[in-house]
Amino acid sequence: MILKLNPTELEKAKEFLAVKEMNLSSAEIYIEYLTFHSRDIKKFDIEKLSKKYSENEAFFKAFLHTLRVDEKDAEFSSINEVCNIKDIKELNPETYKQDKFYQKFNPIMVQKNDWYFTKLNYAPYEGFVYDELDVDEQTYAEHTPLGYFKEEFPYFAVVQKDDIWMSVIPHEINTMKDAINNAHGDVIVLGLGLGYYLYHIHLKDDVKSIRVIEKDPVVISLFKEYLLPHFEHKKKIEIIEDDAISYLDIDRKADFVFADLWHNVGDGEKLYLLLKAKEKHQPNTAFMYWIERSILCMLRRQLLTIFEEQLEGFTEKDYVEARNENDEIINRLYSLTKDVVIDSKEKLHELLSEASIKKLAAKIY
């Protein structure tokens, strides 16, 4: 970036850096809660607090108590004001139990090698993330949608060792809605899992054929034996054992591609970028990616890191070596943006927009 900011515009542009720090602090709070305390809140705690607060407020108070956070603490108050941590919702389990896949496939206990299908559950008042990050388009503040059920919620999952690859939970259901609605014509699905996405799109009249690309033969075997026989329109489906990236290296005719190859943003960013690079070879194909908005948030943070480093006097030689994958992506982003002139907050805002980041993402690899 070529920075040509006068003092007034520089102070305005730095507001994005302040929001980035709030986003990172907010993420740390959620990670702490979800990793160590998600089942700490009990019905008794909510009943006691509900005498004074509404139930969602009571949950928020209990949430802070489990983390030993003082709501009046100045630092937390600032994070809460920007990232709206207090917005925690009670969810209706019946909304999710009406899902067609959830209703049709009862959890089964099957294991093959280090893969297995199993039944898991959310405990009453266990907090969980139920949807994609919500991003303010003006400030780029990030809000994590946290919710809970008042009753136990059982769900079906496919697990490898201790890694859950797919589960029929609110987060999966909500984050796949748009990709299900947009699927049409001849479809390529990258990643099989339980076949949740596959099941929903194979029911659509406007979906004519589906190729599922899955590299793990055990996942394919489990799916074909226990789940595929219950699909209504099996003739639409072809399951191909292959690496998704390699498969798209060849010109594949398709109307729509959906990728779901990662657990989370951390292990998904590079795969996402590798797949985005394939789009230019298939201009007539629509692509969608699981949790893309969250991955774009990661890329936005990396762009802001470059902006901050430019303010500190970093030069081109500082973007040559890469100690890890994050450094590699930052170096490539630097190369793509080194000639972009930032002379106002608005110019930086444009660079950080979702549309801008998607264009950059397609050029990184």
Global pTM reads 0.94
Mapped onto helix, strand or coil, the DSSP state of residue 128 is strand
Torsional class of 191: left (φ above 0), alpha (ψ -120 to 50), beta (otherwise): left
The pLDDT, as a whole number, for residue 247 is: 93
Residue among 290, 292, 286 at smallest CA distance from 187: 286
Residue among 153, 142, 150 at smallest CA distance from 59: 150
Taking the chain (365 residues) in consecutive chunks of 10 residues, what is each chunk's mean pLDDT? 95 97 97 96 94 92 96 95 96 96 88 86 97 96 97 92 87 97 97 94 97 94 92 96 91 92 93 94 94 97 96 94 93 96 97 97 95
The pLDDT, as a whole number, for residue 159 is: 87
